[in-house]
């Protein structure tokens, strides 16, 4: 049986007036929205998705009528940026704390899809609204992916966007990032995003680390078949004067170089045997935060995949508990 759930009529979204021209819209203006749902039966999902989610978790997300999801487009720097919103179908009795999610991947690789709705459903079930961005240059967004450069503005624009939804408690916004989403979180914190706390899973914290230097051809020159197919042209093509300023660009995107700018409580989660981003990225950043007395916590799992699917429940409970610990009371 094909699993399809209608996801239309979200609070303040489906009926919201839209602005067709991002060039004249303020950052964070909602430009359009449409239904977005899990349509693919579990048995037809990718092997990776089936590894990440047990059948019952996947199908619960697909069939839970309490929540509504929409694919949205919003304005940032005059560009149309795509994203996803998940929130209760019915108006809550009070606004809810909200997770601003920074996805992993580059260009179209890692763009938000049906499988992300499963994770977002789990977070919504824990009492959060979820608002996620695809950033510029990926997932149907305008512009060029600059890998934690001006695309950080697309994360900053989530704040005024979130405040436009009645279900969102604007005083309790939180950041979550995965992999490349880690430096997007760090960059947004550096640039003063107004959130209460943040959590990063398997985040990159040092672009000058040995493991990143080993992947220089892949990221700097776009020397990867998957990336080329999805529109990634490499750092050299999007960072000005790369040959002479590579270290400058990397330091600007490496939180290990400026931990003092991460001014909110930060939860770091990583698998010791992460196959993509070594746990040393989180360990070294945690040590730097420790040296300056910054509020943080480091959680290391002995064995897991990149997004921590084997510890999915523990991961989500820890993130939710971290955010609840740093809530500010709702003002009436």
Q: How far apart, in whole angstroms, are the C-alpha atoms of residue 98 and residue 175?
A: 9
Mean pLDDT across 78-105: 97
User: What's the pLDDT score for residue 228?
Assistant: 79
What are 199-224's pLDDT values in tens digits?
999 999 999 999 998 888 888 888 88
User: What's the pLDDT score for residue 19?
Assistant: 59
User: What's the pLDDT score for residue 219?
Assistant: 86
pTM of the model: 0.92
| 157, 75 Cβ separation under 8 angstroms | yes
Q: Euclidean distance between the first and final Cα of the chain, in Å? A: 46
DSSP reduced 3-state for 110: coil
Q: How far apart, in whole angstroms, are the C-alpha atoms of residue 146 and residue 107?
A: 9
Task: Give the dihedral of Cα atoms 316, 9, 153, 134; nearest 10 deg.
Answer: 60
Mean pLDDT across 64-79: 97
Question: Is it the case that residue 2 has pLDDT exceeding 70?
Answer: no
User: What's the pLDDT score for residue 227?
Assistant: 76
User: What's the pLDDT score for residue 226?
Assistant: 79
330 falls in which pLDDT band (50, 70, 90)? low
| 312, 52 Cβ separation under 8 angstroms | yes
User: What's the pLDDT score for residue 184?
Assistant: 98
Average pLDDT, the chain: 92
123 falls in which pLDDT band (50, 70, 90)? very high
Any idea how long the chain is? 332
What are 109-119's pLDDT values in tens digits?
999 999 999 99
Q: How far apart, in whole angstroms, are the C-alpha atoms of residue 145 and residue 239?
A: 10
| 43, 198 Cβ separation under 8 angstroms | no
Q: How far apart, in whole angstroms, are the C-alpha atoms of residue 123 and residue 238?
A: 34
What is the percentage of the chain residues whose pLDDT exceeds 70? Answer: 93
Domains in the chain, please, with CATH?
Answer: 46-51+84-325 (3.40.50.1820)
Indicate the burial class of 152 (C-beta count within 10 angstroms; 0-12, 13-18, 19 or more).
buried
The H or E element containing residue 177 is: strand 168-178
User: What's the pLDDT score for residue 20?
Assistant: 64
Question: Is it the case that residue 229 has pLDDT exceeding 60?
Answer: yes
Long-range contacts, 49-52 (Cβ 8 Å, 24+):
49/114, 49/115, 49/118, 51/305, 51/309, 52/115, 52/118, 52/305, 52/307, 52/309, 52/312
Closest CA to 268 of 251, 256, 257: 256
Partnered with residue 133 across adjacent β-strands are 83, 102
Q: How far is CA 58 from CA 42, 45, 51, 167, in A?
A: 7, 10, 11, 24
């Amino acid at each position: 049986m094909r699993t399809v759930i209608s996801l239309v009529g979200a609070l303040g979204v489906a009926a919201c007036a839209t602005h067709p021209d991002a060039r004249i819209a303020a950052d964070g203006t909602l430009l359009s929205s449409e239904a977005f749902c899990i349509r693919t039966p579990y048995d037809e999902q990718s092997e990776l998705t089936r590894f990440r989610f047990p059948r019952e978790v996947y199908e619960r997300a697909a069939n839970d009528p309490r929540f509504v999801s929409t694919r949205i487009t919003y304005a940032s720097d005059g560009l149309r940026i795509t994203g996803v919103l998940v929130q209760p179908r019915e108006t809550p009795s009070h606004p809810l704390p909200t997770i601003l999610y920074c996805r992993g991947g580059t260009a179209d690789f890692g763009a938000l899809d049906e499988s992300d709705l499963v994770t977002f459903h789990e977070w919504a079930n824990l009492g959060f609204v979820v608002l996620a961005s695809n950033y510029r240059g990926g997932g149907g967004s305008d512009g060029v992916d600059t890998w934690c450069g001006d695309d950080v503005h697309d994360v900053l624009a989530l704040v005024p966007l979130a405040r436009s939804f009645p279900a969102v408690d604007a005083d309790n916004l939180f950041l979550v990032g995965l992999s490349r989403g880690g430096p997007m979180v760090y960059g947004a914190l550096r640039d003063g995003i107004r959130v209460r706390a943040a959590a990063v899973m398997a985040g990159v914290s040092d672009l000058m680390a040995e493991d990143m230097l080993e992947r220089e051809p892949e990221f700097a020159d776009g020397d990867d078949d998957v990336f080329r197919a999805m529109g990634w042209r490499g750092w050299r093509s999007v960072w000005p004067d790369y040959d002479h300023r590579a270290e400058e660009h990397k330091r600007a995107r490496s939180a290990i170089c400026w931990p003092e700018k991460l001014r909110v409580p930060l939860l770091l989660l990583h698998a010791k045997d992460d196959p993509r981003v070594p746990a040393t990225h989180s360990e070294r950043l945690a040590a730097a935060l420790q040296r300056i007395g910054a509020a943080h916590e480091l959680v290391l799992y002995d064995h897991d995949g990149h997004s921590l699917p084997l510890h999915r429940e523990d991961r989500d409970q820890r993130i939710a508990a971290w955010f609840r610990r740093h809530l500010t009371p709702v003002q009436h």
